[in-house]
Amino acid sequence: MIYDVIIIGSGPAGLAAAIYAQRAKLTTVVLEKEYMSGGQVVNTYEVDNYPGLPGIGGFELGMKFREHAEKLGAQFINIEVKHIGLEDEGRVKVVYTDSEEFRARTLILAMGARHRELGIPGEKELAGMGVSYCATCDGAFFKGRTVAVVGGGDVAVEDALFLARGCEKVYLIHRRDELRAAAVLQEQLKKCENVSFVWDSEVVEISGEDHVECIKIRNKKSGEEKVQDVDGVFIAVGTIPNTGNITELLHLDKNGYIPASEDGKTEIPGIFAAGDIRTKQLRQIVTAVSDGANAITSVQAYINAL
């Protein structure tokens, strides 16, 4: 079978694309690596900036996206994509997995992104033993304890806010002297009496026997180092696009993202990029959903021109 469109990834971009594809009566299949749809949003405690649904839980929002797509008849297959190829002079896109191959006239790449690591001693060794990349996933284990959050963007501040509700003490460590997070989030965090800011600093080592016990912090301006006792470290320093299985197919920018504008068009006709995986100014749930819708509009135009 040759589908009209194959969607790789089931985060907000992929799910929005699935919804729009079903409404357009395109033969569609969504290939998802994870056992749960929703992408990074399912690990977000509270989403307060999605229009019309202020304060909705990230998991709930992700499930609503999935339920909407399923209600319209979207087909999902839990399988990992190994690489992508072209047949018939590029008119047919082939998606290879360990067990089978899928073919389509068009392809939407919506694989999203993953958490960026610090790459410091102790990080990998203590992962799951106090080192975490998801405060909403693991924060409950640190109730009444002392933790550190590394980062200065929206996610880092949201993590610190979440942890401050249950932890005795939260240190927010940022390499600059001001945060990059939205002003409203900064205001909320500054009101938390149990949150301390550690400016112009970076964590250079995480230590502990069978769990996190302390971190070494270096001031980037003075070079001074100090050891801070903590029970957990939550790392929120950005993301890396999941483009590993397409590096031989498409050119990527210096950060590994797919160069594509709002219409999702890539350098290969019939292949489109949507969500956090493409070059864009803002990576948010609302922009990912928009990308998915735009990609299907481009898919329709491409198919109609064949």
Active site residues: 134, 137-138
- Nearest alpha-carbon partner for 45 in 140, 114, 118, 111: 140
Secondary structure E strands in the chain: 2-8, 28-32, 76-78, 81-87, 92-97, 101-109, 113-115, 131-132, 146-150, 169-173, 195-198, 201-207, 214-219, 225-229, 232-235, 239-241, 271-273
* 21-24: long-range contacts, CB 8 A cutoff, minimum separation 24: 21/74, 21/296, 21/299, 22/69, 22/72, 22/73, 22/74, 23/72, 24/296, 24/300
Which residues face 134 on adjacent strands? none
The answer to whether the CB of 261 falls within 8 A of the CB of 280 is: no
Q: Which amino acid is at 209?
A: E
Which residues face 203 on adjacent strands? 217
Angle, vertex CA 229, rays to CA 225 and CA 230, nearest 5: 120
